[in-house]
């Protein structure tokens, strides 16, 4: 069965306007660039433009070709001020603490960048903000991640009045000739070729009060964020909603019955709608399990048996067969084993 085509999403025009300015500065035809995604210059005057993931990818590809600028993501991200992020940025800026701001950003990230999700993990005194792609973009993942990582870094600096809580930046690629520019823009250690993309913050700073805190302004902005997200999700297809449920509930995975209850419908109705969209609960669960299995085994923290248990398999043999079906490999081939410790002197 053919893969379902993702529906158009509402893409914030402030981001598109910055891309358009880069195209224009390089001597490119902005109208022609927009026409490739069936947009006109008038579309940039609104708050959002309707784009499918493929149309967005075509715009970025064309912008890279017209500008001949491999660091396009960094240059756009450097210009993404807090005001570029609309009501989500406003809510973050008036949060009482960093923890509250990060919660807002994680919950409402889809309002500003529908192609990415943001997750917060706490580990050994550090807070990791992980960006994860909702739709694969291939070679375009790098400029998108560069722009969003730099924009998030700058937003955190703004709400702490320049005293950024960011310790380091994790990048799942090598910067190459753009390393010096990235060093200058981020101003913190950059870790290349990592298995994840995001920022590392000092967890001790999460609950310190912020100078710009304004409870009334925050309440208004957060209420607007919630209303916009409710409206957005009401128009979403079910498969992306189920994907978010399967990937965003920590350890374990909710059953079809639980997912149906969370989505306010019966299991039979959910199953029927998913079939209409060209997928199923089992297919989405397999994709979420395979993604998490690869993450657990690559990081080397869990054994094959513990990974099977964490993914909800009561029988390790069933997990081994599923993993080979997903990847064509045995789980033991992927697992990273910790380096042996040095012998005592």
What does 277-320 look like in DSSP terms, one character per residue?
Answer: TT--HHHHHHHHHHHHHHHHHHHT-S-HHHHHHHTT-S-HHHHH
Poorest-confidence range of 31-35, 54-58, 136-140, 246-250? Answer: 246-250
Q: 299 and 256, same structural domain?
A: yes
Task: Using alpha carbons, select from 244, 336, 253 the residue that is nearest to residue 297.
Answer: 336
Mean pLDDT (whole number) for 62-70? 95
Q: In Å, how far are 91, 96, 100 from 220, measured between CA atoms? A: 8, 14, 15
pLDDT in tens, 125-177: 899 999 988 877 888 899 999 999 999 999 999 999 988 899 999 999 999 99
Between 29 and 249, the higher pLDDT residue: 29
Between 327 and 79, the higher pLDDT residue: 79
pLDDT at residue 297 is higher than 50: yes
For residue 65, what pLDDT is reported? 94
Task: Using alpha carbons, select from 76, 38, 43 the residue that is nearest to residue 58.
Answer: 38
pLDDT at residue 344 is higher than 80: no
Alpha carbon 89 to its chain's center: 16
Would 109 be classed as within a structural domain? yes
Q: How confident is the model at residue 74 (pLDDT cuts 50, 70, 90)?
A: very high
What 3-state DSSP class applies to 36?
coil
CB atoms within 10 A of CB 339: 7
Would 172 be classed as within a structural domain? yes
Q: What are phi and psi of 312, to 5 degrees?
A: 90, 15
């994860």: which residue's tokens?
A: 132
Would 76 be classed as within a structural domain? yes
Q: List the CATH number of the domain containing 332.
A: 1.10.10.60
Q: In Å, how far are 296, 313, 321 from 290, measured between CA atoms? A: 10, 12, 12
pLDDT at residue 39 is higher than 80: yes
Q: 187 and 248, same structural domain?
A: no
Q: 169 and 289, same structural domain?
A: no
Q: 251 and 196, same structural domain?
A: no
Q: 280 and 200, same structural domain?
A: no
- Tell me which of 187, 205, 223 is where a domain ends: 205
Four-CA torsion 130, 133, 138, 139, nearest 10 degrees: -50
Between 1 and 170, the higher pLDDT residue: 170
- Tell me which of 205, 229, 251 is where a domain ends: 205
- Tell me which of 157, 181, 205 is where a domain ends: 205
Strand partners, 216: none
Q: 260 and 193, same structural domain?
A: no
Q: 95 and 191, same structural domain?
A: yes
Between 158 and 249, the higher pLDDT residue: 158
Would 281 be classed as within a structural domain? yes
Would 179 be classed as within a structural domain? yes
Would 20 be classed as within a structural domain? no
Q: Which domain holds residue 281?
A: 237-338
pLDDT in tens, 266-295: 888 889 888 877 889 998 998 888 888 888
Would 5 be classed as within a structural domain? no
Q: 243 and 199, same structural domain?
A: no
> Do residues 131 and 116 lie in contact, with contact meaning Cβ atoms separated by under 8 Å?
yes
What 3-state DSSP class applies to 34?
helix
Q: 320 and 201, same structural domain?
A: no
Q: 325 and 252, same structural domain?
A: yes
Q: 272 and 186, same structural domain?
A: no
Round to whole Å and give the CA distance between 200 and 169.
6
For residue 5, what pLDDT is reported? 46
pTM of the model: 0.68
């730099």: which residue's tokens?
A: 150
Q: 266 and 156, same structural domain?
A: no
> Do residues 175 and 184 lie in contact, with contact meaning Cβ atoms separated by under 8 Å?
no
Round to whole Å and give the CA distance between 149 and 199.
7
Number of domains in the chain: 2
Mean pLDDT (whole number) for 19-24? 95
pLDDT in tens, 176-213: 999 999 999 999 999 999 999 999 999 999 999 999 99
Mean pLDDT of the chain, nearest integer = 87
């Amino acid at each position: 069965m053919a893969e379902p085509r993702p529906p158009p999403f509402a893409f914030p025009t402030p981001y598109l306007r910055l891309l358009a300015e880069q195209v224009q500065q390089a001597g490119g035809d902005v109208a022609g660039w927009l026409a490739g995604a069936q947009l006109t210059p008038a579309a940039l005057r609104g708050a959002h433009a309707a784009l499918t993931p493929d149309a967005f990818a075509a715009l970025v590809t064309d912008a890279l070709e017209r500008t001949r600028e491999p660091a396009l993501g960094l240059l756009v991200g450097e210009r993404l001020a807090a005001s570029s992020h609309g009501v989500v940025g406003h809510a973050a800026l008036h949060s009482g603490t960093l923890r509250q701001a990060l919660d807002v950003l994680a919950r409402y990230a889809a309002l500003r960048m529908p192609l990415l999700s943001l997750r917060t993990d706490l580990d050994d005194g550090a807070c990791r903000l992980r960006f994860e792609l909702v739709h694969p973009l291939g070679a375009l993942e790098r400029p998108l991640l560069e722009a969003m990582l730099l924009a998030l870094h700058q937003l955190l600096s703004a709400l702490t009045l320049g005293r950024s809580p960011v310790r380091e930046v994790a990048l799942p690629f090598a910067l190459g000739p753009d390393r010096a520019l990235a060093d200058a823009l981020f101003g913190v250690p950059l870790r290349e070729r990592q298995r994840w993309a995001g920022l590392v913050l000092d967890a001790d700073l999460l609950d310190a009060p912020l100078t710009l805190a304004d409870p009334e302004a925050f309440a208004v902005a957060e209420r607007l964020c919630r209303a916009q997200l409710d409206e957005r999700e009401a128009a979403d297809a079910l498969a992306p909603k189920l994907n978010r449920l399967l990937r965003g509930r920590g350890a374990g995975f909710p059953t079809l019955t639980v997912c149906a209850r969370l989505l306010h419908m019966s299991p039979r109705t959910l199953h029927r709608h998913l079939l209409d969209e060209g997928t199923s609960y089992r297919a989405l669960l397999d994709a979420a399990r395979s993604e998490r299995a690869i993450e657990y085994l690559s990081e080397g923290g869990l054994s094959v048996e513990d990974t099977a248990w964490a993914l909800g398999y009561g029988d390790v043999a069933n997990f081994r067969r599923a993993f080979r079906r997903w990847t064509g490999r045995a789980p033991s081939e992927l697992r990273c084993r910790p380096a042996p410790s040095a012998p005592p002197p």
